[in-house]
Amino acid sequence: MQHLDKLCRKLGYVFQQPELLERALTHRSFGARNNERMEFLGDAILGYLVSTELYNQFPKASEGQLSRLRASLVKGETLAGIASELELGEYLRLGSGELKSGGHRRRSILADAFEAIIGAVYLDSGIDSTSSLVQTFFHDKIIELDPQTLQKDPKTRLQELLQARGTELPEYEVIATEGQAHAQRFRVACRIAGIGEPMLGEGTSRRKAEQAAADKMLQTLTGQDNG
């Protein structure tokens, strides 16, 4: 485990059970003993700890504002960014296929590994140490947030606009999926009964494609309002 000493220094945490860290860095492509269960645990613990920090930091924020703030912090892009700062890609254990396709740089794999590390720290020494780790990487991000300026995602804004108008809610349909399993792109249509043509959105996940389609629909509808 000596090769992981540098990573432990970056984390600011030394494992009592180093095998937990090794498991956290093991992708499912490497074998059956991988980090998926730790990722599941770490995701839940991260959500809880970030929620607690936000609750204390923003005593006047509404439930909806707190939810959006939390979503902005625990989303894949944020976690992948932290993982990149830690250079987790250098330590990942990947199967040959993932190695050849650049899995050590794939942001979803990096984000999952960071969540797994959070789960590993919790299993190693409990919630206090895990809380300290989360504060190390999220404290500055939290205090920079402003509940008043964080905008709702496009799907939520579209739904609220249509509800305010008394219009039927949108329907989303995946109309195309392209690429290999590890690098898929989705194309989604957003349709609203009685409102023109569907809007198309693309993304690396169904959710991102739906958000892109909703954003285009929003622009169309608000453009009509302003026209």
The catalytic residue positions are: 43, 115
Cα–Cα nearest to 110, from 134, 140, 86: 86
| Residue 204 DSSP label | S
- Single-letter residue type at 103: G
Question: Which residue has tokens 């720290």?
Answer: 121
Centroid of chain to Cα 218: 24
Q: Give me the residues paired with residue 185 across strands.
A: 178
**Dist. CA 27–CA 39, nearest whole Å:** 10
Residue bearing tokens 């995946």: 174
